[in-house]
Amino acid sequence: MGAPPLRARLTMFAAACPMIAQALMMVILLLHGQWLFAAMIAPGIFACLVSLLLTLPSPPGPEKAPDPQQATIDVDITGDADDRAADLRHAPSQPIESLLHFARLPWRAIVGRWLEPLDLAVPIGMTGSEPLMLDLNRQGPHALVAGTTGSGKSVLLQSWCLALASMNGPEHLNFVFLDFKGGSAFRKLERLPHTVGSVCDLDLAHAVRALRALEAELTRREQLSAAVHASDIRDMVNPPPRLIVVIDEFHALKDQLPDYVNRLVRIASLGRSLGMYLIACTQNPMGQVSADMKANMSVSICLRVRDRLQSCELLGDGRAADLSPAMPGAAFCNDSEQVTAFRCATARDIDAVCRQIAFASRFVGSPPQPSLFTAPLPRHVKDRTVADHAPQRIRFGLADDGINLREATVSLTGGNIGVIGPQGRGKTTLLKTLARHASMADGLAVRVSSPHRRVWSSQWLHGGRCTPYASSDAPPPPHIVWFVDDADELFDPFRTDEQALSFTHALADESVSVVFAVSTIRPIRIPEHCNTRIVFPCGERTSDLMAGVPARLLDMMSHIDADNAGRAVLIEGTSACLVQCAS
């Protein structure tokens, strides 16, 4: 045995120093006759001696043969790590056009694939020398993608969606894009004929509508399945298209709209049998994706992350934290059966691929897919003066049910209508709009009254033109619609003039529909005076609730709704919706 190395010598000296110091102290105590204190130091000297003996090198013995099993494990671990690194280094980033085998006329290849049955197994990258195929039907239905900024998450999502759209027609597959980093990731993909909705975080009201629409679509599919007694959408004769919801920067959605995240959790738990798939992308999967949602995501794709714990969350170890920033698109795919190293595919020209897909859609005559939701109400709606010969419903603007917009209409033959709201909100404009359209309908006689300096004047309206009013020459049509502006004083029970008495009588006459405008609900009795109301919120919650505006609508209204002229609530019986009156 040769001399011990310097490191071993220093270790032995460090262990001996405390023992030497305590031995000197014990000798001094014994010389001074302090036997008790010397006895207390003795155990410490003994412990230091034991520590020193443990640091001495052991004598040479017969060399122990290595454990074959342990050697195999070490070689396997090292070999797997080297193989994974080699796979990523030797897997160049391939364009998605090459993986889809686009020839000189890509649209012909796209049309050929659309004629085949639905297939969600598409290439998303390269594993060494062969493409990585990912099938949401077999391996999914939901996927979680994680990676730090610049790792290639958005590029992966774009290539994945292009591959899915190239393999399946818009009648069989649709997309909804939720982009919470400004809308840049999916802006070009909005032109795909498969896209039925796209929102970004720059318009949170629009994003809220998308989440409401997704929940409504889930309920609709549940009802369709229940109607035909199908446990899975694949058992239906004419199933609705598969719907893939793609979310970029899921953590931003959770931070900005925390009350709506549970709607996505419901999709994750029920989407498999209803044909709704979820692909959520985030920078940090830890704490941002709930346990209930993560439990239903069987596919995890992890690109480069900064924290080994984030890699462990998706892959079971920290390998994704060791990926080099010089290899963008390098990732690992965990499908709950195995972990595969691959390089994400990139799109050489997204616009060109989208044009080819759109041309293929026109070639096969695919009908446009209806949007799942619409944008919120605009601030202004122009009046369309169109001859409406059917008096049943008169158009006056746009109505919003929280998901989609439709024409706002009221019936001028079904009773009185109260227009309630403060000055300057648009009551007079609304009455003029309704009167103009009513004068163009068959079977209606339109009378318009308004006060000027406390003097009331009335006119008949025919085809949008006014003629003087006289009670003796009332027109013969069976139904009269009387529009009365600023009618507050006419509800005074102490008024006995001709105008007030005529107004009170008309309110109770079934052959006359009175459309009146007042500033407050206080003098009005519901439903004696009116059952249909158009309420312009005044901003005072108690007054708006008294006028009949539901609390849920008041909670949904933003400051834009409160300040925008023409924004009102249409109340018919027990139903209520937000409207923007035309101007």
Annotation: binding site for ATP? 147-154
Residue 150 — left, alpha, or beta (φ > 0 → left; ψ -120 to 50 → alpha)? left
Distance CA 307, CA 318 (A): 8
Please give the structure tokens belonging to residue 38: 């010397």
Task: Say if strands 444-452 and 455-462 run parallel, antiparallel, or are unpaired.
Answer: antiparallel
Which stretch of DSSP H or E encloses residue 24? helix 6-31
Tokens of 262: 């549970």
Q: Which residues contact 195 (CB under 8 A, 6 or more apart)?
A: 174, 175, 176, 177, 189, 369
CA gap 268, 266 in Å, rounded: 5
Q: Are 534 and 569 in contact (CB under 8 A)?
A: yes
Where do we find the tokens 């949007």? 371
Burial of 200 (0-12, 13-18, 19+ CB in 10 A): buried
Helix (H) or strand (E) holding 84: helix 68-89
β 276-282/242-248 pair status: parallel
| Dihedral, 122, 124, 125, 126 alpha carbons, nearest 10 | -20
Residue 175 tokens read as 């997309």
User: What's the token pair of residue 190?
Assistant: 């909005």
- Beta-bridge mates of residue 466: 461
What strand order describes the sheet that includes 339-344? 130-135, 121-127, 339-344, 330-334, 299-302, 143-146, 276-282, 242-248, 173-179, 195-200
* Residue 246 · residue 157 · CB < 8 Å: yes
One-letter amino acid for residue 394 of the chain? I
Per-residue HEC secondary structure of 204-253 comes to HHHHHHHHHHHHHHHHHHHHHHHHCCCCCHHHCCCCCCEEEEEEECHHHH
Within 10 angstroms of residue 370's Cβ, the number of other Cβ atoms is 8
The DSSP annotation for 342-395 comes to: EEE-B-S-HHHHHHHHHHHHHHHTPPPPPPS--PPPPS------------S-EE
Q: Following DSSP, what letter does each residue of 317-351 receive, concatenated?
A: SSGGGG--TTSTTEEEEE-SS-EEEEEE-B-S-HH
Which residues line the annotated binding site?
Answer: 147-154
Contact 139, 299 (CB under 8 A): yes
Give the burial string for 113-147 (b: 16+ CB within 10 Å, else e): ebeeebebebbbbbbbeebbebebeebbbbbbbbb
- Whats the size of the chain, residue-wise? 583
